[in-house]
Structure 1
Amino acid sequence: MRFLRSSLSPLLTRPWLDRLILWILEHWFFPLSRLWASARAAEGSIDRFCIEANIAPSPKHCQKAYRVLANFEHARVKNLMTEQVWQAYLFGDDTVTEQRLLIAEEMRLDTRTEYLMMRKQFTPFRKMVKQSIALRPPTPEETHSKYPDQSVFNSAFAISDQFPEVEQSRSIPVPSGRDYWIRFKSPSEDMADLAYARVHEPVGVKNPPTLIFGHGIFVEFDHFHNLIDEVHALTSMGIRVVRPEAPWHGRRVIPGHFGGERLLSTAPVGMIEFLAAQTREWAVLMDWCRTTSSGPVAIGGSSLGAQTAKAIAVRAKAWPKRLQPDALFMVTHCTHIAEAALDGALSDLWHLSDALRDRGWNKELAREWLNKLDPEASPVMPPQQIISVMGSEDTVTPFASGQTHMDSWQVPPQNRFVYPRGHFTIPLGLIRDQQPLWRLRAIFSQLEKPTDAP
């Protein structure tokens, strides 16, 4: 983080790093993640691990697998037990000192990081992996059976008149203010779990403005030490930041998968379920933000989080006034999610199009379904309250598509930030170049000004 704030940062945040990251994702992260997920399903069984990972190791590799799975189970139990202590300390009824809260959070990050980094121990089996994403898409007929018409599809995104109770944890001091967590029962029947969000709150600011900021696919921001946070500086600007944990990520990963994989493995239904759940959960967060502060509220995100925010910004036009966001802040985005899933640089790594074709889809039909995720309309907020941050070398969420979309929304030039970077180096660059963040601060300041009475 310190290096990214230095004058040497521009040497790193260049397209060559994006190409390197794509190579690492293809040859290391995804194969090791699939093995990690297989170990979760195996629960210590070598035979089940091999079946889940679809590998046939030699006797020598089986001996290695036995040791790695034993280490994995040790890390898993440590993580589980630490999480239970953390839950009791942060959300429980008993009085807990601030020192113990800090210790519990440090232990949680220690054990969670260790557990997730167990991926490295599966390196001896990396080249045996044939398919890095467990792709099991439904057929077109099965998809149509779940969403037989547009009204059924739209109902999946409809918000309720009554929201679940939001529980707030105890808070801990951090250099930029205080952090705490909120949780509530997901209003999505497809999820049927607890939705979490981490809140970064500035100290001494009455009724702060708020940004709800979503993360990208596979990103488990709240479970690693020293993970890059492109909006970290906002708290020091007096802005409260709510970081929701997306479905099938972090605490919400389902058995047999790694964070975010379920979204792709059952596409297009998985993508519909994901975005429908996000829409309904962010409505709950909007209600919580309005209840706990009279300041303006923006929604936004990076990559998939940005695509989520864009779609919600359009759907929110049908929401009650108090639930409608005031501003939109997007980092790396394109017009349609389908462009990233079927045409972007990551799609070549996932082989999603091939898996869909094997299940009876053609690319046009898949695109037709995925395009339903992005409503064709203008957003609820005016163009001058929309901020876009893009990289001209972005091949994951295609740059030209994002530019065209911002043109159609008439986003003014002063709110559009374009850098000669790719998909991954754009967030890295925001650590040092904070102009987009200050622009959001300026928009909030304008919204906070009292209006003249008629």
Structure 2
Amino acid sequence: MRLLSSESRIRSQPSAGDKPDPILTARDGIARHEFVIISDHVYGMVQWMPGKRGRVVPNPAVSARTAAPEAAIRRAARSPLGAIVARPWVDPVALGALRRWFFPLSRLWAAANAAEGDVERFFVEPGAPADGAWSRRVIGSVLRRHEMARLRAANERARWESAAFGPDPIPPEALGRLDDVRRGAASRHLATRGLLYPLLYSHRVPLAAWAVPAPATMQAAYGTGLDDAAAIYSVPTFMPHIEVSHPAARPSVTEWWLRFATPHGPLATRPGCETVYARVIEPEGLAPGAPTVIAGNGLCVESDLLTNSIDPGAVLAPLGFRVVEVVSPYHGLRTQAGTYGGEPFFAAAPLGTLDLIAGQTLETAVLIDWCRRQFSGPVAVGGISMSSFVAQQVATRCRDWPQRLRPDALLLVSHSGRIEEVTFAGSLIRALGLTTWLQAAGWTRQSLMRWEGLLNPSGAPGLPPERIVSVLGVADRLLPFETGQEVARAWSLPAENVFELNVGHLAMPVALMRDDRPLLRLKATMEGAALMS
């Protein structure tokens, strides 16, 4: 998140050939704010114009690799500015911005995607304003610009994917440039949220297209798992075929992409989620026996679409790890049509929640198998926030898996062992209003607790406690700090493997770039595992 004063201007120059859009003027109420807080998804993608009235225009200059490279991101994280960000104050301030701006803008953005430039279709999408609230000419102009960005992003993704996985060889530098263009186009598409900003002031925009299923629907989908949880988390006898892309050259690293069919049946029926994508980041000169970390991201984090981000590769690769960064279901390259990244995880809870956790757990097993066959070194699984629930399931469910699929180490960051506590006491879920929608669909805390065995870690982990590293923010209220402590105690993690940092939830990635003791501890445990194998 970024804090801008009302004196600030985020300036840009239009790209060649771009025609300026009409400036969309927001309601006068914006001008009362001395400061504005915007998401990193939006920062640099919109222009904040102070004065009597707020004005927002798109920034067409956001292009591939306009921001500093990953080394510069690390330097910034370790600078005095990083010290300011890596503090507990970030969570309450950022949470307000997410609720007030990011989630409503994301819902409008998803509605515009579904409309495909058609004003009539836009008006009937969840979250869109009523017909007549705004001039159709203005709405039409916004949707046309948005649709141009959407089509560009789709076309550049198709070009990149065809080249990356195609039969014809391509120089690594050329493929890297194609990926830059794809990410730039995707970032500009994400940036069109800024075009929709004034619409926030015409009506109360919902934070999501809520589709909470009734308990009976959940029972029909996953009821067998209530008696036999292992059946839901059973790995396939024959692993799916994994396609490996041509290599792409990056400064100081080489990247590959992987794609394969999800082994989880319910996800295979969710259009857009049926194919798994993962990015492999390997630093220059890394030995085949170097440690590999299969890492996930947090809710609504789509680093596979951004030109720059503090992603697992940026954090781990400089420390000598090979990183396999998984694209979670419902996110990034796996976003479903008509939704924004991560939306179904909570908007269709608990069904969407279990789809993601169970699905990504099995997808991680497939990637562990692939890493065992490709590399000789130890393999760890890491998760932060949302994906920590996946990592915890891998840790406990791997007891029933073949030995080769059991990770050598585990990294849990900003984690919790009680998802029901996150639902009813976590500050993010309260801000989203999910509990109201759960109750309206017939759910109670007691009925949700029936499913805890499929969502929470169950029993002892399938790897030694000394190979599990836990990192918690003492001020974390999104995933309450105490529920992460409970996991560390229940699993008897040694004191030297438990790190409690003076930070909340959202600034944890910055904190880890400033204080890499937990990651170095993970590396030491993996090296110890390699010596014992």
2:131, 2:452 → 1: CA distance? Answer: 38
Structure 1 stretch 203-212 or stretch 285-294: which is displaced more? Answer: 203-212
Determine the structure 1 residue equivalent to 2:76: 3
Contact residue 86 and residue 508 of structure 2 kept, 8 A: yes
Call closer, same or farther: CA 1:38–1:235 in 2, change over 3 Å.
same
| 1:25 lines up with 2:106 in the alignment | no
Determine the structure 2 residue equivalent to 1:380: 462
1:240, 1:60 → 2: CA distance? Answer: 51
2:474, 2:174 → 1: CA distance? Answer: 46
1:101-148 CA-to-partner distances (Å, cap 9, x unmatched) read 122011011101001111111101124244211111111122222233
Alignment of 1:339-358 (within 5 A): 339-358=421-440
Determine the structure 2 residue equivalent to 1:134: 209
2:378, 2:509 → 1: CA distance? Answer: 24
Contact residue 230 and residue 428 of structure 1 kept, 8 A: no
Alignment of 1:402-441 (within 5 A): 402-441=484-523
Q: Which amino acid aligns with 2:246?
A: R
Determine the structure 2 residue equivalent to 1:173: 249
1:256, 1:429 → 2: CA distance? Answer: 34
Determine the structure 1 residue equivalent to 2:219: 144
CA deviation after TM superposition for structure 1 residue 153, in Å: 5.2
CA deviation after TM superposition for structure 1 residue 185, in Å: 0.9
Determine the structure 2 residue equivalent to 1:250: 332
Question: What secondary structure sits across from 2:328 in the alignment?
Answer: coil
1:322 pairs with 382, 401, 404, which one?
Answer: 404
Percent of matched pairs sharing the same residue: 36
Contact residue 173 and residue 249 of structure 2 kept, 8 A: no
Contact residue 91 and residue 507 of structure 2 kept, 8 A: yes
Q: CA RMSD in A?
A: 1.7
Contact residue 338 and residue 371 of structure 1 kept, 8 A: no
Q: Which amino acid aligns with 2:221?
A: K
Determine the structure 1 residue equivalent to 2:362: 280
Call closer, same or farther: CA 1:144–1:10 in 2, change over 3 Å.
same
Contact residue 301 and residue 308 of structure 1 kept, 8 A: yes
1:95, 1:12 → 2: CA distance? Answer: 44
Contact residue 230 and residue 430 of structure 1 kept, 8 A: no
1:150-182 CA-to-partner distances (Å, cap 9, x unmatched) read 246542321111011111111122234211111
1:139, 1:51 → 2: CA distance? Answer: 24
Question: What secondary structure sits across from 1:330 in the alignment?
Answer: strand
2:82, 2:361 → 1: CA distance? Answer: 36
Question: What secondary structure sits across from 1:449 in the alignment?
Answer: helix
Determine the structure 2 residue equivalent to 1:101: 175
Unaligned runs of 5+ in 1: none
CA deviation after TM superposition for structure 1 residue 286, in Å: 0.6
1:123, 1:15 → 2: CA distance? Answer: 28
1:139, 1:450 → 2: CA distance? Answer: 49
Alignment of 1:12-411 (within 5 A): 12-52=85-125, 53-56=127-130, 58=132, 60-127=134-201, 128-149=203-224, 150-151=226-227, 154-192=230-268, 193-204=274-285, 205-229=287-311, 232-411=314-493
Call closer, same or farther: CA 1:376–1:336 in 2, change over 3 Å.
same
1:69, 1:102 → 2: CA distance? Answer: 31
CA deviation after TM superposition for structure 1 residue 7, in Å: 4.3
Contact residue 315 and residue 512 of structure 2 kept, 8 A: no
Call closer, same or farther: CA 1:144–1:108 in 2, change over 3 Å.
same
CA deviation after TM superposition for structure 1 residue 259, in Å: 0.6
Question: What secondary structure sits across from 2:124 in the alignment?
Answer: helix
Structure-2-length-normalised TM-score: 0.81
2:417, 2:345 → 1: CA distance? Answer: 19
1:340-376 CA-to-partner distances (Å, cap 9, x unmatched) read 2332011112211111111111222123324531242
CA deviation after TM superposition for structure 1 residue 416, in Å: 0.9
1:417, 1:50 → 2: CA distance? Answer: 49
2:325, 2:510 → 1: CA distance? Answer: 18
Higher relative contact order (CA 8 A, sep 6+): 1
Q: Which amino acid aligns with 2:277?
A: Y
**4+ runs deviating over 6 angstroms:** none
1:54, 1:233 → 2: CA distance? Answer: 38
Greater helix content: 1
Call closer, same or farther: CA 1:42–1:129 in 2, change over 3 Å.
farther
CA deviation after TM superposition for structure 1 residue 206, in Å: 2.1
Call closer, same or farther: CA 1:38–1:371 in 2, change over 3 Å.
farther
CA deviation after TM superposition for structure 1 residue 413, in Å: 1.2
2:424, 2:194 → 1: CA distance? Answer: 29
Contact residue 170 and residue 246 of structure 2 kept, 8 A: no
Unaligned runs of 5+ in 2: 1-72, 269-273
Structure 1 stretch 167-176 or stretch 145-154: which is displaced more? Answer: 145-154
Question: What secondary structure sits across from 1:191 in the alignment?
Answer: helix
Question: What secondary structure sits across from 1:299 in the alignment?
Answer: strand
* Count of aligned pairs between the two proteins: 451
Contact residue 231 and residue 437 of structure 1 kept, 8 A: no
Structure-1-length-normalised TM-score: 0.95
Question: What secondary structure sits across from 1:200 in the alignment?
Answer: strand
CA deviation after TM superposition for structure 1 residue 303, in Å: 0.3
Structure 1 stretch 88-97 or stretch 53-62: which is displaced more? Answer: 53-62
Contact residue 242 and residue 260 of structure 2 kept, 8 A: yes
1:314-334 CA-to-partner distances (Å, cap 9, x unmatched) read 001100000101111011011
CA deviation after TM superposition for structure 1 residue 202, in Å: 2.6
